[in-house]
A and B are shown apart, each in its own frame.
Chain A
Amino acid sequence: AQSVTQLDSQVPVFEEAPVELRCNYSSSVSVYLFWYVQYPNQGLQLLLKYLSGSTLVKGINGFEAEFNKSQTSFHLRKPSVHISDTAEYFCAVSEAEDYGQNFVFGPGTRLSVLP
Chain B
Amino acid sequence: DTAVSQTPKYLVTQMGNDKSIKCEQNLGHDTMYWYKQDSKKFLKIMFSYNNKELIINETVPNRFSPKSPDKAHLNLHINSLELGDSAVYFCASSQALSGYTFGSGTRLTVV
Question: A residues touching B (Cβ–Cβ < 8 Å)?
Answer: 32, 34, 36, 38, 42-46, 49, 51, 88, 90, 92, 99-103, 105, 107-108, 110
Contacts and interface: CB of A to CB of B under 8 A. Distances in A.
Nearest to B6: A43
A107 B38 CA distance: 11
B56 interface: yes
A44 B41 contact: no
Q: Which of B90, B92, B100, B105 has the most CB of A within 10 A?
A: B100
* Range for the number of chain B residues in contact with chain A: 20 to 34
A38 B92 CA distance: 14
B104 A46 contact: no
Contacts, number: 51
Contacts of A90: 43
Nearest to B30: A101
Interface string B26-45: 00000100000000111101
Q: Dominant SS at the B interface?
A: strand
B36 to A, nearest CB: 11
A103 B96 CA distance: 12
A36 to B, nearest CB: 8
A34 B41 contact: no
A100 B56 contact: no
Nearest to B55: A102
Contacts of A49: 99
B102 A45 contact: yes
16 contacts: A38-B41, A42-B105, A43-B4, A44-B92, A44-B100, A90-B43, A92-B100, A99-B97, A100-B96, A100-B98, A100-B99, A101-B31, A103-B45, A103-B100, A107-B41, A107-B42
Given A101-B31, A108-B42, A34 B99 contact: yes
Given A36-B100, A107-B40, 13 more contacts: A43-B4, A43-B90, A44-B90, A44-B92, A90-B43, A92-B100, A100-B98, A101-B94, A102-B45, A102-B48, A103-B45, A103-B100, A108-B41
B97 A32 contact: yes
Contacts of A38: 41
B66 interface: no
